[in-house]
Amino acid sequence: MASRASQTTTSRLENLWALGLDESSPVVDEIPASHAGSWLGEGEICTSISPASGRAIGHVRAATLEDYDLIVKHAEESFRIWRKFPAPRRGEWAKALGEALVKHKRVLGALVARECGKILSEGEGEVQEMIDMADFAVGLSRQLYGLSMHSERPSHRMFEQWHPLGPVGVVTAFNFPVAVWAWNALVAGVCGNTVIWKPSEKTPLCAVAVQQLVNEVTEELGFPQVSFLACGGRELGEAIARDTRIPLVSATGSCRMGRELAPVVAARMGRCLLELGGNNAMIVLDDSDIELSLRAVVFSAVGTAGQRCTTLRRCLVQKTIVNDFSERLKKVYETLPARIGDPVFGSETLVGPLIDEDALDRFDMAIDTIRAQGGEILCGGQRVSPEQLPANLADGYYAEPTLVRAHADMPITREETFAPILYLIAVDSLEEAISLQNNVDQGLSSAIFTNSIRSAEKFLGTAGSDCGIANVNIGTSGAEIGGAFGGEKHTGGGREAGSDAWKSYMRRQTCTVNWGEELPLAQGVSFDV
């Protein structure tokens, strides 16, 4: 029979899943939010606030540094077993987890939407990303290829192979509370690593729900634990950065966070995989499909209430069409306030809330700065007042999607504000647009809309976009998992998800086998004794 404590935890976990389905579900009370083979947490009580309502939806018990140390020890022990499993068997774990996510897609997507504020379609889309990553990881488990090279020495064989690193630290942000974990954990797992996950303290309930699924799948397969959870605040992130037991730290967050974390990891000769900020631009030329570009602008700029690292911040429009384009875009923006509302239970909602009051304050400060620097607010620019919202949303954190007519030398256009603010900037030429696009510290996502193959190829060429992602006739936001995701410059240089991003989670070993009876030295060196 289960103990009283485990029964309590089980009932709380059931209440957690109910949050995604029932608007009136009870607040989840003091759920343990870390896992090291069993649920634990002896730290402070942290409250999860729904940004849509501004009200508590759950209370979690965070991990202490002592809890964290136990988690790492369990992850080390499990790694020593897990790394010996053949990679295709590790792929079975990814496959089973993908199947579990398919079954729970609707409710987990709704929980994501409720806790971080993105609309339900985007919440379910985030879970679909996890499912897609699971499919990718299954195939990857049979494709961890090395190279075979010809040796210069007779009767020698030379090749390279890849081995897992160990426990990998994964630090994720609130805006993609589960998908970024999947980008890392599913690839790292099939590569033979274990994972220690520190989620954002703003979205701990999503992490607990995913960890529960991982536990069920892993136990059913009889495999050692692959993913471990450590919920808590900044002190846990700092512990991961300092911990010599963790050879790789994959961290998603602000550029400021990356600048603080990277030197700490480097000082102990660890590896960093950084996914940091973006200040993304879209170029719209006068030969583009205007209807297509308008639709791309609106989703890229307004989706997730402007809280994606790939959100469109700057729209660089050729002067010959900028007046017409801005008028048509303004008309679309004027319809958006009517679509602001409950991200989970509002069927017509397109724009959900910002994550918290601090985000609203930063929005307000950006609007003041825009005006001070000579920008013209064409649409939006205000918080949504409580009177404009239903009573149950009156304490939520809502801001109007904002369209700004800006000029290129406004300093704020070179900064990233995590809110639905779009700068519309007129340019004379493609060359000017590319120069302006690249004239920011970040280098994540970029796009061009044109029907000219020459313009498109120039944008994609060596003198074109300096971003890790460059799209033609596609917006900046919403990447497929098949390609490696990440950016350059202050975005951190990391790559996650598809392509050969798996190599970040492994160590390369060059091997040479002498099957002959002589001992020739490389480069013809003679050393007779």
Active-site positions?
275, 309
Cα distance from N-terminal residue to C-terminal residue, the chain: 74
Going across the sheet that includes 248-252, the strands are 39-40, 34-35, 227-230, 194-198, 167-171, 248-252, 271-275
Alpha helices in 117-178 (DSSP H): 120-140
Both tokens of 41, joined, read 């947490």
Rounded distance, CA 280 to CA 137, Å?
29
**H-only helix segments in 228-318:** 234-242, 255-267, 290-302
Helices 87-103 and 204-221: angle between axes, nearest 10 degrees: 130
* Phi, psi angles (nearest 5°) of residue 205: -65, -40
Task: Describe the crossing of helices 430-438 and 453-460 by its angle, rounded to 10 degrees.
Answer: 30
Q: What are the Cα distances from residue 379, in Å, to 187, 333, 423? A: 43, 7, 11
Tokens (6 digits) for 208: 């607990």
How far apart, in whole angstroms, are the C-alpha atoms of residue 419 and residue 91? Answer: 38
Q: Is 453 exposed, middle or buried (0-12, 13-18, 19+ CB in 10 A)?
A: exposed
